[in-house]
Amino acid sequence: MKFQIRIYSFAIFILTTLAAFAQGGVPEYTVQVGSYANPKPGDFANLQGHGFLYASKRSAHTDVFVGGYESEGEAGKMLATLQLFGYDNAAVNKLNTEGGRSVTIIQLATKRVGDKINWEDYLPAGQLYVLLSGNQLKILAGTFPDVASAKAHLAKLQLVGFKDAFVKNMNNVLLHEVTDFEMGGAPKRPLIPLVFEEKKAEESAPEQQKAEVEAKKQDAPKAYEEVAIVVPGTKSTVELTPKGAETKVDTPAPSKTEPAKEAPAKVATPAPTPASFEASLPDIRPNVKRTSAYELQKTLKVEGSYKGSLDGFYGKGTRSAYEQALAGNRQLQKYRILAKYMATPTEDAPKGTVQYFINHLWDDPKTAMDGLAAAKTPIAKSYRAYFMYVSEGSSKDVNWLMNEAIKEAFSGKKSAFPKFDPTVRYAYEDIDQLLTHLRYIHEVSADSPAAPCWLFRKHPGPALQAFGPQGTNSNLKLQACGGFWEWEEVKVLDAIAKDLCGLGQMSEAACAKSQSQLAQLYLTPKALADDERKALEAWNGKLWQGIEGWSSRDPMLGEIATALKISYLQTEVLFEDFFMDEGFTEKEAKALGLQAMKTLVGHHLERFI
């Protein structure tokens, strides 16, 4: 009877796991770049920053794919990018997640697409897989016949340095085996790799057990492209070189194609771009003890919605209490309504300004290019050079414009950037270098406009790399492109803080700077130094000391302060989990969460310090 109950429970577990994958939030879409005779990672150098590339070898050819996406729309954006680069035969695939099964693996690390990954560090863990979702890449090891085997292997992994690894179950269709292609070539293999439990069982078990092990091997997860439901593209009967040139399928000889450069875009039909960056709420970790959750529990207990113990873990009780307060607290109800009617950051700019022309460079190229030519500023010249490069390819005109822009922008100034000399004449052969120098011009230009949102949509990898943490950041501004502003919690907190600020006391310049800083934290976060972390903790303490003194004067002020604190702490928890999802440690995420809080409301609540 007990055995039957266990079997029944296990079946329910499997069905629940597979059902969870089918309910959304699953990266079940991918984009096939093309089919090739003998592809090499270097053949796709122009795509490296746009998504994680992987290959699936067939009998006579190899299919190359990019990315994993939760919706067909997201995959469609990558398809448009590939077509912009000249991969006309690219097509969207949908993976057959319903036909998959739950397997046990060990998650080793989470990376961002574009991060440099030292694969040799992970090879001792055994066979590697990746799970791809948007700009995230999870490195996994496995698979294992059951959780017990995985935990036994996990203990060995932790002894050799994989301290943050953990066991999980997932749909095998979403796993992709890591080979030399994905690793960018053949890395150095460990001399003594760790041995999986199945291997040991095969060597020491009796004949019957060996047969069971062999059966498990045959039931190993297939590469997920082999169970994909393909959304048909054009010219599916030919193989392609990286630039889309056709070769016959029955010719297995490797193509001698040089690494492709940024393909010219057609000005008349620019690739579609999304209205804003999508930023779904992170899942709050219930097993992380944190000050923000502890303070939220204290506030909710005083408010009357939280009945549990003050343990600092954001579990179901804390979530339920927050939702109860959100629905029942009249001040929170008021500000939730107010937040819907308050303006959030946009990409708008006054017509005729350099910012306006940059914003509309892809919407109305002729007008924008004419406007930038008339402006004659270094930043205007650099954006003209950028558009000429992506439209027509590298040229003497591109080089001349960019070098003139650098010369004028750095006139009388020293370079704060390593390995960059503004007195040297550069030739621009790839988009990475051009965008990096574009960022340098942004940073040294006193009246520089904000880097536009479309730059990060069209070139996500190179743009994030170019505009990431480096230099002085003195004049660098980024447009607020959605991101955190898509969270209701951020909008409500902003509404409360603005209401307490008074009659527009925050200047437009300060507001723009705050929005740019928050965009940088969303796009290119960087771990803070200890002195920066301590300064933020001191600021946070002074802020709430001032607010508590102010709220003690009147019960109505006390109600507003309670609503502010609930909103503030809930948003802080979400910021922390967002940064942990980005790969930062709990300590680093806490500091970055406070930095995001100060950036969001610091100017509005300055009078309480």
**Reported confidence tier of residue 392, pLDDT bands at 50, 70, 90:** confident
Between 80-84, 396-400, 416-420, the lowest mean confidence (pLDDT) is in 416-420
Task: State the DSSP H helix or E strand holding residue 325, giving kind and residue range, or none if neither.
Answer: helix 316-328
CA distance 121 to 138: 14
pLDDT attached to residue 18:
43
Model confidence at 215: pLDDT above 50:
no
Classify residue 108: in a domain, yes or no: yes
Contacts of 476 (CB under 8 A, 6+ apart): 439, 442, 443, 448, 451, 467, 516, 520
Amino acid type, 345: P
What are the tens digits of pLDDT across the range 534-585?
A: 999 999 999 999 999 999 988 889 999 999 999 999 999 999 999 998 888 9
Domain boundary among 187, 203, 235: 235
What are the tens digits of pLDDT across the range 228-242?
A: 333 333 333 233 333
> Beta 239-240 vs 91-95: how paired, if at all?
unpaired
What are the tens digits of pLDDT across the range 15-30?
A: 444 444 344 468 888 9
Output the CA torsion 282→285→290→293 (10° steps): 70
**Reported confidence tier of residue 258, pLDDT bands at 50, 70, 90:** very low
pLDDT attached to residue 470:
59
pLDDT attached to residue 187:
58
- Provide the token pair at 477: 């501004």
Written in H, E and C, the secondary structure of 337-374 is HHHHHCCCCCCCCCCCCHHHHHHCCCCCHHHHHHHHHH
> Beta 166-171 vs 128-133: how paired, if at all?
unpaired
Check residue 137 and report its DSSP letter: E
* 314, 284 Cβ separation under 8 angstroms: yes
Model confidence at 275: pLDDT above 70:
no
Structural domain boundaries, residue 106: 2-235
What are the tens digits of pLDDT across the range 347-381?
A: 567 888 998 999 889 888 999 999 999 998 999 99
Higher pLDDT, 131 or 457: 131
Kindly state whether residues 428 and 485 are assigned to the same domain.
Answer: no
pLDDT attached to residue 217:
41
CA distance 25 to 27: 7
Kindly state whether residues 89 and 143 are assigned to the same domain.
Answer: yes
Kindly state whether residues 110 and 184 are assigned to the same domain.
Answer: yes
Kindly state whether residues 553 and 436 are assigned to the same domain.
Answer: no
In this prediction, residues 125-151 reach a mean pLDDT of: 87
How many residues appear in the chain? 609
Classify residue 260: in a domain, yes or no: no
The residues that bridge with 104 in the sheet, in sequence order, are 144, 169
Classify residue 78: in a domain, yes or no: yes
CA distance 319 to 308: 11
Classify residue 437: in a domain, yes or no: yes
Give me the percent of the chain exceeding a pLDDT of 90.
Answer: 28
Check residue 283 and report its DSSP letter: P
pLDDT attached to residue 502:
60
**Closest to 449 (Cα-Cα) out of 475, 414, 480:** 475
Kindly state whether residues 367 and 314 are assigned to the same domain.
Answer: no
In 160-223, where does DSSP find H-type helix?
Answer: 197-204, 207-218
How many structural domains compose the chain?
3
> Which residue has tokens 């930043």?
379
Beta strand spans in 9-155 (E): 29-36, 53-57, 62-69, 91-95, 102-112, 128-133, 136-144
**Reported confidence tier of residue 41, pLDDT bands at 50, 70, 90:** confident
In this prediction, residues 68-81 reach a mean pLDDT of: 87
Cis peptide bond prior to 585, omega within 30° of 0: no
Output the CA torsion 426→430→435→437 (10° steps): -10
Kindly state whether residues 78 and 168 are assigned to the same domain.
Answer: yes
Percent of the chain as helix, strand, coil, to the nearest 5: 50, 10, 40
CA distance 354 to 372: 6
CA distance 118 to 124: 12
Q: What are the two backbone dihedrals, phi and then psi, of residue 320, each rounded to the nearest 5 degrees?
A: -60, -40
Compute and round to an integer the Cα radius of gyration of the chain: 27
Kindly state whether residues 132 and 34 are assigned to the same domain.
Answer: yes
CA distance 345 to 479: 8
Kindly state whether residues 193 and 72 are assigned to the same domain.
Answer: yes
Model confidence at 214: pLDDT above 80:
no
pLDDT attached to residue 301:
94
What three-state secondary structure class fits 89?
Answer: coil
Classify residue 476: in a domain, yes or no: no
Model confidence at 444: pLDDT above 80:
yes
Classify residue 250: in a domain, yes or no: no
Kindly state whether residues 323 and 453 are assigned to the same domain.
Answer: no
What are the tens digits of pLDDT across the range 95-107?
A: 887 777 888 999 9
- Record the pTM: 0.48
CA distance 93 to 190: 35
Sign of the Cα pseudo-torsion (542, 606, 521, 168, in order): positive
pLDDT attached to residue 347:
59
CA distance 513 to 134: 28
Cα 424 to Cα 40, 164, 403, distances in angstroms: 33, 45, 8
Written in H, E and C, the secondary structure of 496-548 is HHHHHHCCCCCCHHHHHHHHHHHHHHHHCCCCCCHHHHHHHHHHHHHHHHHHH
Half-sphere exposure of 559 (CA within 13 A, CB side): 11
Classify residue 137: in a domain, yes or no: yes
> DSSP characters for 214-263?
HHHHHTSPPPGGGGEEE---S-TTSEE-TT--EE-TT--SPP-PPPPPPP
**Closest to 435 (Cα-Cα) out of 260, 258, 262, 278:** 262
CA distance 449 to 368: 14
Contacts of 558 (CB under 8 A, 6+ apart): 551, 552
Kindly state whether residues 48 and 142 are assigned to the same domain.
Answer: yes
Domain boundary among 217, 235, 253: 235
Classify residue 144: in a domain, yes or no: yes
**Closest to 456 (Cα-Cα) out of 519, 517, 514:** 519
The residues that bridge with 229 in the sheet, in sequence order, are 94
Q: What are the two backbone dihedrals, phi and then psi, of residue 193, each rounded to the nearest 5 degrees?
A: -70, 155
> Beta 102-112 vs 239-240: how paired, if at all?
unpaired
Model confidence at 10: pLDDT above 60:
no
Kindly state whether residues 558 and 500 are assigned to the same domain.
Answer: yes
Amino acid type, 223: A
Output the CA torsion 155→157→159→163 (10° steps): -90
Q: Which of 91-105, 117-131, 392-406 has the highest mean predicted lDDT (pLDDT)?
A: 392-406
Higher pLDDT, 588 or 501: 588
Model confidence at 486: pLDDT above 90:
no
pLDDT attached to residue 88:
79
* 360, 588 Cβ separation under 8 angstroms: no
Domain boundary among 439, 466, 493: 466
What three-state secondary structure class fits 466?
Answer: helix
CA distance 114 to 448: 27
Q: Please state, rounded to an integer, the average pLDDT across all residues of the chain.
A: 77
Kindly state whether residues 32 and 97 are assigned to the same domain.
Answer: yes
The residues that bridge with 471 in the sheet, in sequence order, are none
What are the tens digits of pLDDT across the range 489-538?
A: 998 999 999 888 764 455 555 555 667 678 778 877 888 999 999 999 99
Higher pLDDT, 398 or 205: 398
